[in-house]
Amino acid sequence: MIEAVNISKDFYDIKAVDQVSLTIQEGNVFGLVGTNGAGKSTFLRMLSGIIKPDKGVIKIDGMDIYENVKAKERFFYISDDQFYFNNATPIDMKNFYQVIYEGFDGERFDTLMEQFELTPNRKINTYSKGMKKQLSVICGICSNTKYIFCDETFDGLDPVMRQAVKSIIAKEIADRNITTIIASHNLRELEDICDHIGLLHRGGILFSKDLYDMKLNIHKIQCVFHNEEDAKAMFDNLDILKREQRGSLYTITARGNREEITNYFDKVKPVFFEILPLTLEEIFISETEVVGYDIKKLIS
């Protein structure tokens, strides 16, 4: 389990992370969302023990992370700009990580390099950005650590390779129940892989919620009523977050249990109604508007 309690980090007059508290349970895929400059990378660097918080406590499995070799053996950090030794080849990095991580799987490394069509004896500094990202993911997967921290891991990958990387991470989660933190400025990248989402804004956590719970308790509905009286009767019984009307068609975003909402509609007997799936972005828009934020300005 990862615990961060009131951690803060300033860089001169810039408050990069401000009083952030998070608990990330084992086996979760935690999506950390925020615009560039929101504090995602700084948070992950503190979580990886690269920099020390100015205030607060951050622990992994009950151990302080900063300057703690035992704690650092438990995770692999894939940074936005992954570090490789000068003139190193993937084989050099494989040999290095086999020393650092006791469980590093060299055979699987070779297999994945072949699957991704990456040349193992080619100098990494001649790789494209996307190829470097692929290599960093391969190294992270083959480290066989309990935790993997990913900072903008999908940035720079083409759509096909992006899906391939997601599939590998998803398989690792299913096979080994690893805990993964994925930081991104793009909600769409996280929708099909994360089960918990935290929104970081101006260095602080705006909110942190289970994605499954959010999807269970917020619904998008399209409906047509016989008359305005029926519409008003329906709306009075719903916890409506957003309502739009085009002609006789209403599009509603409402909070509540799906079965209860369906029962309300059955009683009113509208001309038509349908509950539609919500995207992660639509859920976040509804949630943040309630607390006074416009997520469309926070997330690209």
Say yes or no: 122 and 268 in one domain: no
Total residue count of the chain as it appears in this document = 300
Spatial contact of 8 and 21, defined as CB atoms under 8 Å apart: no
pLDDT in tens, 153-166: 887 788 888 888 88
Q: What is the reported pLDDT for 296?
A: 54
Amino acid identity for residue 26 in this structure: E
The domain boundary, picked from 171, 192, 210, lies at 210
**Domains: count for the chain:** 2
Q: Is the torsion defined by CA of 145, 100, 48, 127 positive or negative?
A: negative
Say yes or no: 233 and 250 in one domain: yes
Say yes or no: 6 and 93 in one domain: yes
For residues 60-98, b (16+ Cβ closer than 10 Å) or e, as one string? Answer: beeeebeeeeebbebbbbbbbebebeeebbbbbbbeebb
d(CA 82, CA 115): 21
Say yes or no: 170 and 225 in one domain: no
Say yes or no: 257 and 283 in one domain: yes
Task: Please report, for the domain that includes residue 180, its CATH number.
Answer: 3.40.50.300
pLDDT in tens, 21-76: 888 888 888 988 877 777 888 999 999 999 999 999 999 999 999 989 999 999 99
pLDDT in tens, 176-185: 889 999 988 7
The domain boundary, picked from 210, 237, 260, lies at 210
- Judged by DSSP in three states, 245 sits in strand
The domain boundary, picked from 171, 187, 210, lies at 210
Q: What is the reported pLDDT for 290?
A: 56
Say yes or no: 175 and 281 in one domain: no
Say yes or no: 73 and 119 in one domain: yes
Spatial contact of 211 and 194, defined as CB atoms under 8 Å apart: yes
Say yes or no: 129 and 239 in one domain: no
Spatial contact of 151 and 125, defined as CB atoms under 8 Å apart: no
Confidence of residue 239 (pLDDT cuts 50, 70, 90): confident
Say yes or no: 234 and 201 in one domain: no
State phi, psi for 6 to the nearest 5 degrees. 50, 45
Say yes or no: 119 and 265 in one domain: no
Task: Please report, for the domain that includes residue 285, its CATH number.
Answer: 3.30.70.120
Amino acid identity for residue 80 in this structure: D
Q: What domain range includes position 192?
A: 2-210
pTM (predicted TM-score): 0.79
Say yes or no: 249 and 155 in one domain: no
Say yes or no: 151 and 238 in one domain: no
Per residue, the 3-state secondary structure of 180-229, as one string, reads EEEEECCHHHHCCCCCEEEEEECCEEEEEEEHHHHHHCEEEEEEECCCHH
